[in-house]
Amino acid sequence: MDLSDLSAAAIAREIGAGRLSAREITEATLARVDAVEPQVGSYLSVLHEIARETAARVDERIRGGETLPLAGVPLAVKDNMCLRGTRTTCASKILESWVAPYTATAVARMLEAGCVPIGKSNCDEFAMGSSCENSALGVTRNPYDLSRVPGGSSGGSAAAVAAYEAAIGLGSDTGGSIREPGAFCNLVGFKPTYGRVSRYGLVAFASSLDQIGPLARSVEDAALAYDVMAGHDPMDATSIDRPVEAAAGALPTDLRGLRIGLVREFETKGSGTELDAIYRRAYNDLEKLGAVLVDVSLPTADYGVATYYLIAPAECSSNLARFHGVRYGLRVDAPDVRAMYDRTRAAGFGPEVKRRILIGTYALSSGYYDAYYVRAQKARTLIARDFAEAFAACDAIACPAASCPAFEFNAKSDPYSMYLMDYYTIPMALAGLPALSVPCGWATPEGGEVPMPVGLQLCAPLFAERLLLGAAHAYEQATQHARARKPAIAQLEARS
Amino acid sequence: MPADAIDIRYVAELARIALTDDEVERFGKQLGDLLEHVNALSELDTASVPATAQVIESRNVSREDRLQPCLDREVVLAQAPQRQGGFFRVPRIIAE
């Protein structure tokens, strides 16, 4: 048995039954990390010591008779989430040496459930990007083709799980930052309903959109993580106080009676014939599993990217005002406070973060506020209404998770071409809906040598996580696309 | 929607970011391009549409005002770029 290949569900089961220890899994995972990190670069910090200490405590708790839903499961934590005593950088120079003095609620719940934190994973700086290339502190490569990006912004967590350097990765999704890297790395990437998982301890990017969720190698593992993390937290005033129906225990294997909407406006988006064929086959497979396919319309979804690139930067310009060198993080000394702010922020933020702060500041500034920010908020209303109308006719929506498979480094030098990567994921984020990507096939990108994973996106009404995970599970179990290929990393191939 | 070019230096001043001349030129062009894309929103008829700030029904959240444990002052100040005693030290703000 190769320990680091095990699913989170299997690890927890084996450890719970006393057939395996958290120590053994942790050592196997750390050995894998040490072997593949020079090629993949998933982590900004590897937590050898904390992982071993945590594993020892998990084994003690198991010996003491506790039942832990995620006993010994190796966890990758995106580096924009606080874990007490660890560097939490947001992949930014401005927080390069900042050590979190407390632990995020979502992370704390995963640890309480038995997870072992293996490392803090790379991401686009302050979660702004779709490829991890905006990290100021490291390069992460796609384990399926090292010349390609892992997606972003949660690309480090995705690469870690894909390369068996963790069984579950925590990501945050603002406009697609869990779902797109999930699609790029052959994973399930799940963004719950806005407010389902506490944002306490997640460094804020766009507070009305940010949501934490899992990246995993199966729907069941993602559901296990969701069940542990979801639920009200008094430390986050926007966290939702309503009961969470556990999803992991009751995942269906067919889709009988489920109405799945196909979005008319997404039909002609010309993703290329090979991709079109993959998605057509995916929709047919949903039908074969008992779903009824219905035609739905999201007329305003096409304005999603424009809406998002006003609202998210506006919120970011406000949230990132706190980084100015007074209380923590980088400070560039200057004779007066004003110059200290200006120089600290100039030196500490990378180009994409500066661009977004500038566009957000502009959109919120006097004279432009109504024309840009308020208009975008109104467009957001229309987008949410579109979904509400669509869900009157269907129970879930199926569409692509990304515009294309993982691309090569430096392929998107124009900022707007990168923004378009999230064309299919942004509308759901603006509407606050739960959505996930699940592997649906393999396509060889133009100029590429190996087939890369392709993700199907499923989206459900607010709070319908259980239905969503169930549909994804039925599809995953019937098709098994994720298992068709293994990552291209040398160590993994030598082993098999 | 307004069509005037962004005064990028003014916006950077508001945002408290010192920009190099090269950045002024590059960001100015990139933000101008982005605004052209987002101007598509003016095609939507939003006259009678309310603005959405947050999608989930939300209400004011209050709790009893009780003393609760919080971070230790030393833990917080240990992260300060510069400190003096129990304070964050910054350059002079008020003129002599």
Residue A374 touches chain B, beta carbons under 8 Å: yes
User: Under an 8 A CB cutoff, do A416 and B56 touch?
Assistant: no
Residues A4, A78, A121, A218: which is the catalytic one? A78
Across the interface, which of A101, A238, A416 has its CB nearest the CB of B34?
A416
Question: Which tokens in the block code for residue A370?
Answer: 């109504």
**Is the model's pLDDT at A268 over the cut of 70?**
no
Residues of A in contact with B41 (CB under 8 A): 303, 306-307, 310, 375-376, 379
Where exactly are the structural domains of chain A? Answer: 3-256+435-448+464-495
Stretch A148-164: mean pLDDT, rounded?
98
Smallest Cα distance from A302 to chain B, Å? 10
Q: Which residue of A has its CA nearest to B73?
A: A101
Residues of B in contact with A355 (CB under 8 A): 27, 30-31
Residues of B in contact with A371 (CB under 8 A): 1-2
Residue B3 binned pLDDT confidence (cut-offs 50, 70, 90)? very low
**Is the model's pLDDT at A323 over the cut of 90?**
yes
Residues A45, A153, A317, A403: which is the catalytic one? A153
Check residue A213 and report its DSSP letter: E
Residues of B in contact with A94 (CB under 8 A): none
Question: Which pLDDT does position B96 carry in this prediction?
Answer: 66
Catalytic annotation present for A239: no
Q: Annotate A356-365 with b (16+ C-beta within 10 A) or e (fewer).
A: bbbbbbbbbb
Residues of B in contact with A350 (CB under 8 A): none
Q: At what angle do helices A105-112 and A219-229 cross, to 10 degrees?
A: 110
User: Under an 8 A CB cutoff, do A208 and B17 touch?
Assistant: no
Across the interface, which of A357, A382, A414 has its CB nearest the CB of B17?
A357
What's the start-to-end Cα distance of chain A, in Å?
12
Q: Which of A21-35, A388-402, B64-78 has the lowest mean pLDDT?
A: B64-78
- Which residue intervals of A230-336 are DSSP H helices? 273-288, 304-319
Residues of B in contact with A415 (CB under 8 A): 30, 33-34
Question: Which pLDDT does position B60 carry in this prediction?
Answer: 82
Neighbours of A270 (CB within 10 A): 9
User: Under an 8 A CB cutoff, do B46 and A378 touch?
Assistant: yes
User: Under an 8 A CB cutoff, do B56 and A355 touch?
Assistant: no
**Is the model's pLDDT at B1 over the cut of 80?**
no
pLDDT digits (tens, 9 = 90+) for A72-120: 999 999 999 999 999 999 999 999 999 999 999 999 999 999 999 999 9
Question: Which tokens in the block code for residue A296?
Answer: 């739905």
Residue B2 binned pLDDT confidence (cut-offs 50, 70, 90)? very low
Chain B neighbours among A 110-149 (CB < 8 Å)?
none
Residue A98 touches chain B, beta carbons under 8 Å: yes
Q: Does residue A446 or residue B79 have the better pLDDT?
A: B79
Residues of A in contact with B38 (CB under 8 A): 306-307, 309-310, 372, 376
pLDDT digits (tens, 9 = 90+) for A132-141: 999 999 999 9
Question: Which pLDDT does position B55 carry in this prediction?
Answer: 82
Residue A494 binned pLDDT confidence (cut-offs 50, 70, 90)? very low
CATH number of A3-256+435-448+464-495: 3.90.1300.10
Residue A346 touches chain B, beta carbons under 8 Å: yes
Catalytic annotation present for A412: no
pLDDT digits (tens, 9 = 90+) for A390-434: 999 999 999 999 999 999 999 998 999 999 999 999 999 999 999
Question: Which pLDDT does position B6 carry in this prediction?
Answer: 80
pLDDT digits (tens, 9 = 90+) for A349-371: 999 999 999 999 999 999 999 99
Residue B4 binned pLDDT confidence (cut-offs 50, 70, 90)? low
- Which residue intervals of A320-374 are DSSP H helices? 337-348, 351-364
**Is the model's pLDDT at B57 over the cut of 80?**
no
Stretch B51-79: mean pLDDT, rounded?
87
User: Under an 8 A CB cutoff, do A362 and B31 touch?
Assistant: yes
Residue A269 binned pLDDT confidence (cut-offs 50, 70, 90)? low
Residue B1 touches chain A, beta carbons under 8 Å: yes
User: Under an 8 A CB cutoff, do B23 and A354 touch?
Assistant: yes
Chain A neighbours among B 50-69 (CB < 8 Å)?
50-56, 58, 61, 63
In whole angstroms, give the CA distance from residue A83 to residue A71: 18
Residue A362 touches chain B, beta carbons under 8 Å: yes
Q: At what angle do helices A273-288 and A465-479 cross, to 10 degrees?
A: 110
**Is the model's pLDDT at A39 over the cut of 60?**
yes
Across the interface, which of B44, B55, B91 has its CB nearest the CB of A384?
B55
User: Under an 8 A CB cutoff, do B19 and A346 touch?
Assistant: yes
Query: Which distant-in-sequence residues (6+ apart) come within 8 Å of A57 by Cβ?
Result: none
In whole angstroms, give the CA distance from residue A356 to residue A313: 5
Query: Is the peptide bond prior to A153 cis by the omega test (within 30 degrees of 0)?
Result: yes
Q: Is the complex ipTM more than 0.85?
A: yes
pLDDT digits (tens, 9 = 90+) for B35-50: 999 999 999 999 999 9
Question: Which tokens in the block code for residue A173?
Answer: 């999704």
Q: Over chain A, what is the mean pLDDT?
A: 95
pLDDT digits (tens, 9 = 90+) for A177-220: 999 999 999 999 999 999 999 999 999 999 999 999 999 999 99
In whole angstroms, give the CA distance from residue A36 to residue A43: 11
Residue A329 touches chain B, beta carbons under 8 Å: yes
Cβ–Cβ under 8 Å, residues A441 and A137: no
